[in-house]
Each structure stands twice: as structure tokens, then as C-alpha cells.
Amino acid sequence: MGWKEAAEPVLTRMPTVRRPEGHVPFKRKLAWTAGILVLYFFLTNIDLLGSAGGQDIYGQFRSVIAGEHGSLLQVGIGPIVTASIVMQLLGGANLLGLDTDDPRDQVLYQGLQKLLVIIMTALTALPMVFAGDFLPAQQSLQLGGFAFSTTEIQLLMFAQIFIGGVLILYMDEVVSKWGIGSGIGLFIIAGVSQRLVTGFIQPEQGGFFYNWYQILFGDIVVGSVFSSDGLSTLLMSDGGQIIALLTTFLIFGIVVYAESVRVEIPLSHARVKGARGRFPVKLIYASVLPMILVRALQANIQFLGQILESQVGMPAALGVYDGASEPVSGFFYYTAPIYSPDDWMWWTATVDQAWWMVMIRVSVDLSFMVIGGAIFAIFWVETTNMGPDATARQIQNSGMQIPGFRQNVGVIEKVMERYIPQVTVIGGALVGLLAVWANMLGTIGMVDGTGLLLAVSITYKLYEEIAEEQMMEMHPMMREMFGRE
């Protein structure tokens, strides 16, 4: 008996959101999406019962992981992303033996991924609650006349985090099947947008408009703009934040431009004369979503380092941590991403490390993001049926062909192989480079560069999908043509 036969009774019985039968009207999809978004914000504002605060273990990764520290959605989409990494690696190495074109294997694949997410939620929540000071429990808690011990409070917190992790899994599934886009993308947009708006309007030091109010009325002394101190005050994040503002707008512009750069392969219908179309191979063909996997892998490495430091200690070669649980040397320092200009400008007082240590860290982060972005983009394309073979079959099944070539799947696949693999690698590497660049210069609200890239790209694709849904709603025959009915 193989593993599929042994696991099938469990995987096929995993709770799942029922798919809609037939067409879901656009307004209903919009209502489901808005409802899940409201629920997401509601859950991020429910504090964990029994928690005494603590340090956010995800830190700067929060804009990518989503969720909120100390809330029911403490783990965010972290377990979903980690499970996706494991599934992509297993699928890429063909260790699962699953054919995603087979309906039975599709059910097993989805059930296995869902089970893995649940396991990852538990494995992520356990060290957060029971190890270190990441989520310290209150000394005492009374509910309805019952007093809870420290261990019982920790178990209560673990149960809340676990329930929140399972909820966000099924919220994502509801959006994917009944709404517009994906829940993961929606939650990332929500978190990044909240940070951006807060970064602009918060009425305290660090808010863009508040800082400029202080500069204009003399509360922040600028001096001469021609002096190095005055210019630094206007440019840096603790002053006028001009660099952060320009970086934020540049990221918006570059991503929108990159989304419009494409190679268009002409198509014509084999039977209907005059029916023509184009298959676009975008520069960011695999989308920016594989960057979530790269950053999640980095987050898990840093998570491991903090757990080891708080529980067992480690050799100096692996990492030395300061009082804020940040690595200052060793392996975990060099593998930590660059979060802001304060992490790499070694000539300022904010960096204690030598210039060569800083440059090694920058080089490792850049290599990790560029190479990792290209590798995960390839995995993403293959596992989401966007590769040359799957694309060729889709074109063939739609009755289209490439003018001047025989109507054959193999011929279409060879044409696609000229573009898709190369564009996938270039696009993945480019997105990784942009993410590191945005982090090095900083953004408004200190949004992680990857998070900002993800938010802009997902919003652009969401706009395209909404436009497509509206077109399908206005022209019902198009739904039948594209198999949406």
C-alpha cells in the first residue's frame, strides 16, 4: 500500500469550503471579498486572552506575513506560506507522485497542503507561547471565578493562536472560491495599506505629515539645506523622509510599468475566421507572490535563531544577540535581511558593525533574494500550471493556435519554451533586486520593500481581475467561451 492509499481516508475528509455551483455574480463576489476583509480587520483587533505583550517574533516581516502581533491572527499567513514552500519543494523534486491533472490526486494534494498548514500553525504557535519572551503569559488570570495557572494560561493562548491560524486558512479559501483574487493577497494588501496610511498621517514622530509640520514650525531644526546635517535631516526617515517618499512612489511606478512590459504571442482560432487574440508573457510572469516564499524562508531562519538564543544559547559563530533579540554578528546576522537604511549605513552612529560585516550582510541578502526569487518563480510557474506544457494544453483546448504553426500541443509548447522559462527567471530576479533596493532606501511607514512590491502588484492584478469579471458579467457568452459558466 502506497502513501496515497494510506493517507486518502484522512486527506479526503479534511474540512473544505464548497465550490460554487455555476456562475457567481460579480456583486456577490465583491460582497464575499469585502466581508472577509472586514472579518480580517476585526480578528486582528481581538487581543489574545492571557497575553502580557511581548516582542513580535516576525518583526519587519509582518508586512509580508500579515496578521497582527498579540491578536488572534498572531501567526498570519506564515503557516500557509511555509506549507506552500514544503509542497513546492516536494512537488518540484517529484517526491509526492501526484498528478495534478488527475481529479483524485488534486483532492489529495489540496488535503495534504491543508493538513500541513494546520501542523505548521501548531509548530509555529508552540515556541511563541512556551519559549522565550515572545508572548509572555500574565501572572494570573481569572474568568468566571476560575483562576488559571501560568501553564493553563499558556495553553489558552496556544488554543487561541491555533484557532486564528485555522480561521485565516479557511478565510483564504472562501475568497479564492467565492470572492475575487486570493485571501493571501487580500490580507497582504490590507496590512501594507494600513502601514502606509499610518506612516503618512500618524500624529507623532515618524509620521510624514507630522514631521513636516515640525520642520515648518521649527520643532525639528534643519539648518541650512546646503549643509550635510540639514540635507540629511530632510532626506532621512527621522526627518523629512524625502528618500522614503521617492522610493515609495518609484516602487509603485516601476511595478506598474513592469506589469505592462510583455511579449505578446499572436493567436488565431482554428475554426472561426477572423477570431484572433494574443497570449501575453509578462516580464513579471510568475507575479510577485514567490517573493512571499523567499521572505518566509528568511523569517523562519531568523525565527530559529531567536528560539535557539532564548532557550539553549549558541556559539558566537552562529550568532550574538543584543538586548532587543537582534543578531549583531555571526551566521544569523549575515543572513538577516536589510530592513532599513539604519542597517547598512556603517558611517552613521546607528550601525555598530564594521563596514566589511555590513557589506557581507548586504551581499548575502541580495544573493538570497535574487537567486531565491528566480528559483521560487520557476517552482511557482510549474505548480500553478503556468509552464510551457500546461499553457500549450490550455491554448490547444481553447481551439486557438499560433499562426504559421501546426495545430499541435508539442509545437505550441516549443514556442512557449522560447519565452516563458527565460522571462520567469529574469522577472523573479528583478523582483528580488527591487525588494532589497526598497529596503535599503526605506519607505513611508517603514513598510518592508517586499511587502510594498507585493501590495502594488497584487492590487494591479486585482484591478485586472475586477475588470475581467465585469466584462464577463456584461457579456455572458464570454463566460461560456472561457469555461467560466
Q: Name the percent of the chain lying above pLDDT 90.
A: 16
Q: Indicate if the pLDDT at residue 63 is higher than 70.
A: yes
Residue 162 CB-density burial (10 A; 0-12 exposed, 13-18 middle, 19+ buried): buried
pLDDT given for residue 81 in this prediction: 84
C-alpha cell at 112: 495534504
Which percentage of the chain shows pLDDT scores above 70?
Answer: 91
User: For residue 320, how many C-alpha atoms fall within 13 Å in the half-sphere facing its CB?
Assistant: 6
Bigger pLDDT: 92 or 452? 452
pLDDT attached to residue 481: 47
pTM value? 0.82
C-alpha 39/C-alpha 186 separation (Å) is 12
Same domain, 183 and 219: no
Same domain, 288 and 322: yes
Note whether 184 and 220 are same-domain residues: no
List the domain range (segments joined by +) for residue 223: 207-240
How is residue 29 written as a grid cell?
Answer: 463576489
pLDDT score of 483 more than 60 = no
Written in H, E and C, the secondary structure of 358-413 is: HHHHHHHHHHHHHHHHHHHHHHHHHHCCCCHHHHHHHHHHCCEECCCCCCCHHHHH
At residue 174 the predicted structure's pLDDT band, cuts being 50, 70 and 90, is: very high
Question: In this predicted structure, what is the pLDDT of residue 484?
Answer: 52
In a domain, 422, yes or no: yes
Q: Are residues 189 and 286 in the same domain?
A: no
Neighbours of 365 (CB within 10 A): 24
* Total domains present in the chain: 3
Do 140 and 235 fall into the same domain?
no
Please indicate whether residue 478 or residue 198 has the higher confidence score (pLDDT).
198
- Indicate whether 14 pLDDT > 80: yes
Do 86 and 175 reside in the same domain of the chain? yes
Q: 301-335: per-residue pLDDT in tens?
A: 888 888 888 777 778 888 888 765 788 888 999 99
293 plus 313 within the same structural domain: yes
For residues 286 and 221, membership in a common domain is answered with: no
pLDDT at 86 over 70: yes
Residue 466 within any structural domain of the chain: yes
Q: What is the pLDDT of residues 133-168, one digit of tens each?
A: 678 888 777 777 778 888 888 899 999 999 999 999
Q: How far is CA 347 from CA 228, 350, 352, in A?
A: 13, 8, 9
| Residue 32 within any structural domain of the chain | yes
In 389-411, which positions are buried (b, 16+ CB within 10 angstroms) versus exposed (e)?
bbbbeebbeeebbbeeeeeeeee
Q: Which helix (H) or strand (E) holds 282?
A: strand 276-282
Report the chain's mean pLDDT, rounded to a whole number: 83
Whether 225 and 346 map to the same domain: the answer is no
Rounded Cα–Cα distance for residues 472 and 485 (Å): 10
pLDDT digits (tens, 9 = 90+) for 350-383: 788 889 999 999 999 999 999 998 998 888 888 7
Q: How far apart are CA 159 and CA 229, in angstroms?
A: 51
DSSP string, 230-265: HHHHHHSTTTT-HHHHHHHHHHHHHHHHHHH-EEEE
pLDDT of 397-447, one tens digit each?
A: 777 778 777 777 888 888 888 888 899 999 889 988 988 888 888 888 878
Q: Region 111-127: what's the mean pLDDT?
A: 91
Give whole-number Cα distances, 299 to 58, 60, 100, 292, 377, in Å.
7, 9, 29, 10, 18
